[in-house]
């Protein structure tokens, strides 16, 4: 797209045309995007500007942020304006408008200076989306705490104030959560030191060992999996897709994020395996493609997967726009809906969500005698310690692992 030659009205018209082309519904366009873009159009008119400029768009976003901070608009309203404005800038600079779902927001509003530092920190990290979000959430919570204490930057923050933040946080979260908070803040302060940004040297303070417990992790049992698969209507496009997703999770142990990002080219039908780069670790993993799973994938790809989308991902949205699945949350919701249909009652943190399929596979491998190193490789872990959390066994599991003495002849003897 030719930059600096398009007006705000032309840009909006081009965006709306592109949204229709890639499959956005008219309801979404006119109820969500068009009103928000109309606000930007109005601001351009008030400033006497006709040519589109990312700077002016950012200026209007900043004004809305100030209105939110004064309590004049809700956070949801501000977030919507910011989101649409960023999409407009993206289209202006790249000429592309890809379908995306909105990411989870944050209630920790920061100064522009601290927001830039958070962005720089997150850009310096090589990790998956969930870890990136968790790290950003932790650092923003930390910086907002210091801002509320009157610190515009960390340059004059004391060790006692940092220690107080840790103690207050520890009182409100689980031990496993505190472990992550300390880890993210440790890496954040290492980043600050390496970047020459003034801050207290708290690396040692955040290095305090917090041992996460190893509770017995539950999982989706074979009987529960059969009941779930039994309630899926495989005569529909949705059913074909969801059955394939569940079987991939159950037989490969892949995380939901890797399943929705799996490409058609990642499947080697001749070798009977799936080869992909894990989102969480960045390492390449090879997992076998079991016969039942392969048949389910073929059925979906040949008979239910939308045609002519140009998307390389295996699993696509059923409703418009028929593009790649954006968020793993919908995988968990889909799985839970089938559990409800199958009469499987869930409890909070019972370990029987979609990730429970991963633990199910790990347990079956362990019971079958597979060494921990093999289980780690199949699960895609860098080391065996990462896999141990999936392998805590309960009494029934231990019975399965126990030796069967029925084939061992017993003879009466005497003690010497």
Q: What pLDDT is attached to residue 372? A: 62
Spell out a b/e string for 288-319, using b for 16 or more CB atoms within 10 Å of the CB, else e.
ebeeebbebbebbbeebbbeebebebbbbbbe
Predicted confidence band at 390 (pLDDT cuts at 50, 70, 90)? low
Q: Is the peptide bond before 13 cis (omega within 30 degrees of 0)?
A: no
Predicted confidence band at 408 (pLDDT cuts at 50, 70, 90)? very low
Q: Which residue in 119, 170, 179, 124 sits closest to 143, CA to CA?
A: 119
Report the C-alpha gap between 354 and 247 in whole angstroms: 11
Q: What pLDDT is attached to residue 393? A: 46
Predicted confidence band at 219 (pLDDT cuts at 50, 70, 90)? confident
Sheet strand arrangement including 267-268:
267-268, 273-277, 284-288
Mean pLDDT across the chain, nearest whole number?
82
Q: What pLDDT is attached to residue 59? A: 93
Q: Is the pLDDT of residue 103 over 50?
A: no
The residue with greater pLDDT, 122 or 390, is 122
Which pTM does this prediction carry?
0.56
Contact criterion met (CB below 8 Å) for 187 and 125: yes
How deeply is 220 buried, as exposed, middle or buried, from its count of CB atoms within 10 A (0-12, 13-18, 19+)?
A: buried
Contact criterion met (CB below 8 Å) for 260 and 380: no
Type and span of the H or E element at 120: helix 112-123
pLDDT tens per residue across span 17-30? 888 887 777 877 88
In three-state form (DSSP H/G/I as H, E/B as E, the rest C), the secondary structure along 175-202 is HHHHHHHHHHHHHHHHHHHHHCCCCCCC
The residue with greater pLDDT, 111 or 402, is 111
Q: What pLDDT is attached to residue 231? A: 96
Q: What pLDDT is attached to residue 376? A: 65
Tokens of 145: 């705490």
Spell out a b/e string for 222-253, using b for 16 or more CB atoms within 10 Å of the CB, else e.
eebbebbbeebebeeeebbbbbbbbbbbbbbb
Choosing among 3.40.50, 1.10.150, 3.30.1380, 1.20.1250, the CATH entry for 112-207 is 1.10.150
Choosing among 2.30.30.100, 1.10.443.10, 3.40.50.300, 1.10.645.10, the CATH entry for 222-401 is 1.10.443.10
The torsion angles phi and psi of 286, rounded to 5 degrees, stand at -115, 125
């Amino acid at each position: 797209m030719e930059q600096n030659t398009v007006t705000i009205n032309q840009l909006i018209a081009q965006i709306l045309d592109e949204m229709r082309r890639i499959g956005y519904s008219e309801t979404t366009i006119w109820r969500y995007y068009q009103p928000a873009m109309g606000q930007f159009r109005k601001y351009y008119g008030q400033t006497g500007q006709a040519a589109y400029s990312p700077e002016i768009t950012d200026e209007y976003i900043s004004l809305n942020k100030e209105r939110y901070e004064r309590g004049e608009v809700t956070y949801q309203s501000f977030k919507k304006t910011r989101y649409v404005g960023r999409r407009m800038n993206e289209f202006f600079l790249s000429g592309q408008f890809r379908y995306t779902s909105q990411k989870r927001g944050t209630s920790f509003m920061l100064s522009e200076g601290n927001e830039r530092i958070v962005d720089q920190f997150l850009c310096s990290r090589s990790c998956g989306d969930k870890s990136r979000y968790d790290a950003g959430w932790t650092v923003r919570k930390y910086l907002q705490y210091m801002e509320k204490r009157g610190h515009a930057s960390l340059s004059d923050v004391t060790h006692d104030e940092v220690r107080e933040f840790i103690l207050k946080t520890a009182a409100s979260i689980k031990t496993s959560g505190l472990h992550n908070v300390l880890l993210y803040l440790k890496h954040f302060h290492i980043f600050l030191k390496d970047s020459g940004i003034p801050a207290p040297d708290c690396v040692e303070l955040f290095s305090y060992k917090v041992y996460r417990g190893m509770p017995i992790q539950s999982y989706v049992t074979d009987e529960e999996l059969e009941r779930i698969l039994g309630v899926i209507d495989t005569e529909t496009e949705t059913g074909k897709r969801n059955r394939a997703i569940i079987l991939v999770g159950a037989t490969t142990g892949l995380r939901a994020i890797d399943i929705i990002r799996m490409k058609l080219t990642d499947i080697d039908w001749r070798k009977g395996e799936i080869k992909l780069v894990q989102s969480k670790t960045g390492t390449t993993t090879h997992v076998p493609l079991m016969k039942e799973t392969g048949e389910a994938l073929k059925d979906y790809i040949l008979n239910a997967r939308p045609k002519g989308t140009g998307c390389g991902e295996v699993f696509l949205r059923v409703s418009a726009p028929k593009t790649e699945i954006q968020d793993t949350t919908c995988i968990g919701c889909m799985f839970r809906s089938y559990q409800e249909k199958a009469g499987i009652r869930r409890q909070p943190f019972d370990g029987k969500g979609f990730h429970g399929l991963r633990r199910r596979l790990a347990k079956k491998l362990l019971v079958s005698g597979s060494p921990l190193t093999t289980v780690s490789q199949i699960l895609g872990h860098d080391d065996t310690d990462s896999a141990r959390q999936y392998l805590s066994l309960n009494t029934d599991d231990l019975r399965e692992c126990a030796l069967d003495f029925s084939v061992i002849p017993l003879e009466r003897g005497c003690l010497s």
